[in-house]
């Protein structure tokens, strides 16, 4: 019995469709989605339609990511200052291209869950951590991963959010990051997801890498108008898609530092242009 675990699609329907094509052509029992379905790439509705169109023969489980929380929050509080700029343009573009029923779909999801299949051992899935979809679990990143693995009740936890796959084991417990379907950041550009299979008395995990049309995903950011609405942010996403290097996080950190240094709002476009120039995005 094999389970596919897909995380961090970020509206990249091209990458998702390639991964689902792999799942559909192999013998999988079900599909677990770990959140961040939307934002950053073009045409979020195409991605959601691919999710909604999964054949009924597949068991499915859905986790809510931090990006879905952003959409819910904006829906409930539209006066939050989102506008077309590098800081929030991608979020606003996404919100304007989804519907109320999509928001309801996001609301229905938990941030973590335990999955029990027949008589097999239960395992846990989440986006960030069991308690928060904004926590990054990564060895050496913070003590969160140590706290999490020490508190685990099941022997396996699969997370997303970090976009870099890893396996961390301690005292007979395992935490695995499923990688990213839509915006992988481990210095390669193919879509990635995790397979989960029980044999030899334990759950075995494997990262599957699936080529897809990266050129199309990049060009859609321009043709959809997203580039004109998200500016530097859109440039950084196109760069990641083409290289697998997470220059977006570098840019965000730099803008945040500039904001504190100059006493200028984080959303000020001049800060983003300055960071983009330093990073070679312009």
Could you tell me the residue ranges of all domains in the chain?
A: 2-210
Structure pTM?
0.97
> Which residues are CB-neighbours of 122 under 8 A, at least 6 positions away?
114, 115, 116, 154
Over residues 72-92, mean pLDDT: 98
Contact yes or no for 7/180 (Cβ under 8 A): yes
Element (H, E) at 2: strand 2-6
- Could you tell me what percent of the chain has a pLDDT over 70? 100
Largest CA distance in the chain: 59
The predicted-structure confidence for 154-197, as pLDDT tens digits, reads as follows 999 999 999 999 999 999 999 999 999 999 999 999 999 999 99
Tokens of 57: 């023969």
Over residues 127-132, mean pLDDT: 97
Q: β-pairing, 156-159 with 173-177?
A: parallel
pLDDT at 208: 98
pLDDT at 270: 98
Q: Residue 229 CA to chain centroid, in angstroms?
A: 21
Contact yes or no for 213/16 (Cβ under 8 A): no
**What number does CATH give the domain 2-210?**
3.60.21.10
- For 109-174, give the DSSP string: --SEEEE--TTSPPEEEESS-SS-TT----TTT-THHHHHHHH-SSSEEEE-SSSS-EEEEETTEE
Tokens of 41: 């790439």
The predicted-structure confidence for 218-254, as pLDDT tens digits, reads as follows 999 999 999 999 999 999 999 999 999 999 999 999 9
User: What is d(CA 65, CA 217) in angstroms, rounded to the nearest whole number?
Assistant: 22
Which of 46, 49, 52, 48 lies closest to 36, judged by CA? 48
User: What is d(CA 177, CA 173) in angstroms, rounded to the nearest whole number?
Assistant: 14
Residue 71: pLDDT band (50, 70, 90) is very high
């Amino acid at each position: 019995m094999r389970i596919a675990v897909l995380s961090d699609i970020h509206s990249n329907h091209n990458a998702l469709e390639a991964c689902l094509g792999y799942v559909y052509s192999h013998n999988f029992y079900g599909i677990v989605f770990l959140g961040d379905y939307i934002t950053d790439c073009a045409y979020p509705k195409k991605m959601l339609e691919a999710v909604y169109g999964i054949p009924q023969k597949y068991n499915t489980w859905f986790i809510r990511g931090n990006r879905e929380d952003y959409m819910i929050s904006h829906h409930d509080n539209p006066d939050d200052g989102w506008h077309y700029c590098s800081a929030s343009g991608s979020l606003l573009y996404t919100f304007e291209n989804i519907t109320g029923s999509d928001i309801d779909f996001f609301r229905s999801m938990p941030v973590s869950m335990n999955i029990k299949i027949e008589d097999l051992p239960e395992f846990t899935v989440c986006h960030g951590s069991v308690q928060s979809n904004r926590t990054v679990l990564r060895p050496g990143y913070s003590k969160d991963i140590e706290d999490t693995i020490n508190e685990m009740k099941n022997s396996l936890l699969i997370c997303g959010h970090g976009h870099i796959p890893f396996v961390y084991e301690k005292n007979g417990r395992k935490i695995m990051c499923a990688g990213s379907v839509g915006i992988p950041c481990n210095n390669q550009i193919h879509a990635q997801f995790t397979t989960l299979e029980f044999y030899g008395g334990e759950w075995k995990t494997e990262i599957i890498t699936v080529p897809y049309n990266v050129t199309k995903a990049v060009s859609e950011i321009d043709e959809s108008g997203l580039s004109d609405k998200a500016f530097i942010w859109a440039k950084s996403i196109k760069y990641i898609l083409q290289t697998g290097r997470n220059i977006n996080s570098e840019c965000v950190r730099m803008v945040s530092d500039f904001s504190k240094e100059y006493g200028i709002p984080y959303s000020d476009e001049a800060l983003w242009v300055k960071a983009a120039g330093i990073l070679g995005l312009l």
